[in-house]
Amino acid sequence: MTGFRELFGREPDGRWAAPGRVNLIGEHVDYAQGLCLPFAIAERTVVEVAARDDDRVRLHSLAEQDSWSGTIDEVAPRSPDGWAGYAAGVLWALRQAGHKIGGIDLLVTDTVPLGAGLSSSAALECSTALAVDELFGLGLGGTPSGRRALAAACISAENDVVGAATGGMDQATSLLGVAGHALLLDMRDGTDRAVPFAPADDGLALMVIDTRVRHRLADGQYGMRRAAVEKAAAALGRPSLRDATLAEVTTLDPDLVPRARHIVTEIARVRETVELLDAGRLPEIGPLLDASHASLAHDYEVSCDELDLACSAARRAGALGARMTGGGFGGSAIALVPVEQEDAVASEVRAAFAEARYREPEIRGAQPSAGAERVG
Ligand code: GLA
């Protein structure tokens, strides 16, 4: 296996890891100043990094079998493209924000599963950001407010360099995650609160079913949903749909009504979920997960047949609730399952996929885990 020394002719200064995420509920509301309830997962992207005393950036990924080399000043909208844009974009964004940083040599040694809807891109951005923060003494990684500033740079990398108009939930989760908890992210005031979420304590497991249908967020659908939501807010004379009411939503143009209704009802479901979790009533959140999926499938139209089938098969075999997670159009679904039903749910989902002649799904558990950290 190619190592850092073979690639760059010296040892790295350290290793940094950042997790992917699963969103428990609160989907497609981050860019509407809404509330989301994601958690960081155990799967991590790991980068080995050495600081340079010039402006050069040399990047290599073992998973992608690909390299990029350039200077920070050469980074620009849509360049570099592909995976390298996420890492190089972070350097660009930190410099844009006024931080004094130089170049780096970086090797991606491990990655959150790619394309599974578990935010491998945010994990790459956040592990890079934490490494650069430490190597150039920015002093941001040690405090929650500093980590929010790093998350902002990662979001800028994704929005401005990669060109994906994503809303910021993934980067905040990867940098701020707390083991055994989900994070209540308020995307209007930028605050977060750790909410207890430990399914095992209730004899439950949160299963992740990767449909292996590969989504692409940079393509048109995500941006079209975001534009519709912004248009709806403007039509109501509000800065966002955060405080819109269902009564107001019915006054919108008919094509905007279901989109806006999803935002309003989903934010309400997040509040209800948090109330149940705070009250120690985790097993009761199942119907809220199901309702979230129905809203995403019918009102927001970001699901797909494979995600719908994963959820319905999981419920049939005993899941308390199931929904797609992440941007949709493929990627993963989650199912809240009594531990003794886990095997039955996995078999039922696999059988349903085989019968429909879909690719075999990849099924794993998800552990609410800590955010990005130095690991060597
Ligand atoms: C993707 C985006 C997030 C969020 C989700 C949907 O993961 O990166 O910002 O919008 O989709 O909730």
In this structure, which residue's CA is closest to atom 9 in ligand 1? 167
Provide the annotated active-site residues.
Answer: 170
| 167 CA to centre of ligand 1 in angstroms | 6
- Residue 233 near residue 244 (C-beta atoms within 8 A): yes
* Pocket flag, ligand 1, residue 169 (CB < 6 Å): yes
Closest C-alpha to 326, from 23, 20, 18: 23
Radius of gyration of the CA atoms of the chain, in A: 20
Mean pLDDT of 161-188: 97
Whole-number Å distance, alpha carbon 235 to ligand 1 midpoint, is 24
Q: Check pocket membership of 158 for ligand 1, CB cut-off 6 A.
A: no
* Helix 169-176 with 120-135: angle, nearest 10 deg: 50
Please report the beta strands in the chain, taking only residues with DSSP state E, as ranges in sequence order: 14-23, 35-36, 38-51, 56-61, 66-71, 104-110, 181-186, 191-196, 204-210, 321-324, 332-338, 362-365, 373-374
**Among positive and negative, which fits the CA dihedral 363, 45, 367, 174?**
negative
Q: How far apart are CA 315 and CA 345, in angstroms?
A: 8
Span from the CA of 280 to the centroid of ligand 1 (angstroms): 27
Angstrom distance (rounded) from CA 371 to CA 38: 12
Length of the chain counted residue by residue:
376
Predicted pLDDT at 1? 64
From the CB of 34, is ligand 1 less than 6 Å away? no
Locate CATH 3.30.230.10 in the chain: 4-196+370-374
Q: How far is the CA of 154 from the centre of ligand 1 (A)?
A: 14
Q: Does domain 4-196+370-374 have CATH number 2.60.40.10?
A: no
Q: For the chain, what percent of residues have pLDDT higher than 70?
A: 98
Chain segment 89-117, per-residue pLDDT in tens = 999 999 999 999 999 999 999 999 998 99
Q: Which protein residue has the closest C-alpha to ligand 1 atom 2? A: 166
Q: Rounded mean pLDDT of 84-89?
A: 98
| Amino acid 126: pLDDT | 98
Averaged pLDDT score across all residues of the chain:
97
**Pick from 265, 264, 289: which is nearest to 277 by CA?**
289
Span 57-64, average pLDDT: 97
Atom of ligand 1 nearest to the CA of 27: 12
Q: What is the enclosing helix (H) or strand (E) of 169?
A: helix 169-176
pTM beyond cutoff 0.85: yes
Distance 29 CA to ligand 1 centre (A): 8
327 lines ligand 1 (CB under 6 A): yes
Residues of the chain with CATH 3.30.70.890: 199-365
At 240-260, the pLDDT tens digits run 999 999 999 999 999 999 999
Using CA atoms, how far apart are residues 155 and 160, in angstroms rounded to an integer? 8
What are the tens digits of pLDDT across the range 280-332? 999 999 999 999 999 999 999 999 999 999 999 999 999 999 999 999 999 99
Pocket test for ligand 1, best of 25, 28, 229, 266 (most atoms within 8 A of CB): 28
- CA–CA gap between residue 360 and residue 281 (Å, rounded): 34
Q: Is 225 in the pocket of ligand 1 (CB under 6 A)?
A: no
Ligand 1 in reach of 266 Cβ (< 6 A):
no
Which CATH number fits the domain 199-365, given the four candidates 1.10.357.10, 3.30.70.890, 2.60.40.60, 1.10.443.10?
3.30.70.890
Neighbours of 315 (CB within 10 A): 20
Label residue 214 by pLDDT band (50, 70, 90).
Answer: confident
* Cβ–ligand 1 contact at 226 (below 6 Å): no
CA of 78 to the centre of ligand 1 (A): 19
Determine the 3-state secondary structure of 98 from DSSP: coil
For 63-85, what is the mean pLDDT? 96
